[in-house]
Chains A and B, each alone.
Chain A
Amino acid sequence: MTTITPAISINNLRYTWPKTSQPVINIPQWNINVGSRVFLYGRSGSGKSTLLNILAGILQPQQGHIDIYGKTLTELNQRQRDKFRAEYMGVIFQQFNLIPYLSVANNIGLSQYFSGKDYNQDRLSLLMKQLNLHEDILQQQANQLSVGQQQRVAVARALYHQPKLIIADEPTSALDTETRDNFIELLLTQCQLNNSTVLFVSHDKTLATHFDQLIDLQQLNEIESKYAI
């Protein structure tokens, strides 16, 4: 056994929604290594959203431990978890990732602001270039961009503060097949450059070919499926 700290380490995790009796999450053991690219296959109703909220530190499980890069998330209080998320994680959603009325620059600036990192023009320029985004769009309002552009800006924001963990929740569902594959490659390349661990969640198994590992949430999560949401 090696003693390398895993990116994510889950032990005996249980989560039950308030006013219900059965847990929706029950994961006895799960590790993700640093720098790995994990495809988490989750059908709707597999407890996917709940798990992501727990990993992001928004929901606090009733039982078990989560360690992220050696930090025990479940021992932190609400504010510490918010701070931890800002520093350690980049989150990309399905479609609407940007605050529509803020400029692209301000949208990217959000992660810089909350993580407390300094503004770095060179880094931003490089990131924009690598993501095929023209710098002219920085002052545009986010809702003026195409969906593809928006998703790439979302990647820029998720990576700008150099987080150790990227959580992507169906980020390609609004894209067509070709742009989708390009997008995933772009995302993975960027994460590799940044040495970030990637947890990619989707119900579309065809995307799994881009990743090192495929995990089926239904096998991981030992619950009776009728209780999950």
Chain B
Amino acid sequence: MLFRIASASLLNRKTSVLLTVLSIAISVAIVLSVEHIRHEAKKSFTSTLSSTDLIVGARSGRINLLLYSVFRIGNATNNIDWKSYKTIAQQKGVRWSIPISLGDSHKGYRVLGTNTDYFKHYRYGNKQALRFDQGSEFKSVYDVVLGADVAKKLGYNLNQKIILSHGISEISFTQHDDKPFTIVGILKSTGTPVDQTIHISLAGMEAIHIDWKNGAPIAGLKIDAETALLKDLTPKTITAFLVGLNNKILTFRLQRQINEFRGEPLLAILPGIALSELWQTMSIIEKILALIAALVVIASLLGMTTMMLSSLKQRQREIAILRSTGASARFIFCLIELEAILVAIVGIGLGVGLLWCSLLLAQPIVADYYGLYLSANLFTLRTGIYALVIIGVATFLAIIPSFMAYRDSLAQGLTVRE
């Protein structure tokens, strides 16, 4: 009977109830989307790199090393000697290593010099390997392999020739225009910074800088593309390298060895730890967003309380009728509470539905533009907990109108004061 009266009463006040439900739905959609996107972004972020046991670079900050080696953000402060790399790569227990050489770009996309081990050993997400959408890995010096986004955004196809620019700014005045590269492969989308990377061989990287010194062309020296191929194209330095070990137990020992390397100051980091450290630095924004979302929910629930309060005046007679047929004041209290809870539940349901639909709509767009895969699976334990908390707050706030109705029904009883 309580439920029947509560639902009929709400249906009777369709307009104001519907508006309240809508405001709760929107606030719930906001709070859940902040939470959901945060969770998905973190998942996507921490799955940028997988199976790599150590990242090694010149000694600088840990986050800095992670940023330039994995996320193509910022710059290395120093390079590593090729000989140092070789020494470490040949250590016992090292299963594979991937050298990385950075510093050039093409239309704002970073160029990464590496070797074919990159395509063999690089892993992202849940230990997924890189796969080719078209073509294959580079074979000759002036071959280039594009990340999925680069090809898509710039509209490049296989066998097209591109010119790399020196430095990493989008508008570069120095072009390596004497040594054009041919696109031989395009990778499948990974949802990681790999999609925004242009891959060339270390030899290619060496070749375009053969007539350069200290970041500038050597005056009067011009070595054309063909002649460069005849030179020794073994790199002298690289920027960083990734290491995979046979046995994870060796990780800390090798890390210490690298950090104490005698040849030059090096830094080895564990990608998992560094990734979560980096995520921590971003957590303030995350927390502010969550706080704003929570306040929006509270505001909408306060709106509901106001709606309930203002309806009490009109409902005096109805309450008097209930009391006259024997309803206790407690029944009246529960009636108003139940109405609030029903409004909250319907609002939450609608909010989840709203968010679910918009996620389904946004999924392909977000994946396209940001390489971020948003799952639309909202029906998780987390959502359940949020729903319960919101219902709890609604119940708590509804104590105000419920108690007023309770008190009035005790004092005024069967008579209605106009």
Contact = CB atoms under 8 A, between A and B. Distances in A.
Contact of B326 (A83, A102, A106): A83
Interface string A168-195: 0100000000000000000000000000
B192 to A, nearest CB: 57
Given A53-B413, A91-B414, A101 B12 contact: yes
Contacts of A87: 326
Contact of A52 (B11, B317, B322, B414): B414
A53 B8 CA distance: 27
Contacts of B410: 58, 78
B297 to A, nearest CB: 29
Interface string B33-75: 0000000000000000000000000000000000000000000
B174 interface: no
Given A78-B328, A91-B325, A113-B1, A102 B8 contact: yes
Interface stretch (A27-35, A64-72, A92-100, A129-137): A92-100
Given A93-B414, A98-B321, A99-B318, A82 B326 contact: yes
B323 interface: yes
A114 B11 contact: no
B325 A56 contact: no
A74 to B, nearest CB: 16
A82 B327 contact: yes
Nearest to A106: B4
Contacts of B322: 99, 110
Interface string A60-90: 0000000000000000001100110111010
A93 B323 CA distance: 12
A59 interface: yes
A58 B320 CA distance: 11
Interface residues of B, number: 24
Interface residues of A, number: 32
A203 B58 CA distance: 100
A165 to B, nearest CB: 13
Given A49-B415, A53-B415, A86 B8 contact: no
A93 B8 contact: no
B324 interface: yes
Contact of B323 (A58, A100, A111): A58
A196 interface: no
A32 B11 CA distance: 44
A102 B317 contact: no
Interface string B379-418: 0000000000000000000000000000000100111000
A59 B326 CA distance: 14
Contact of B5 (A56, A82, A85, A102): A102
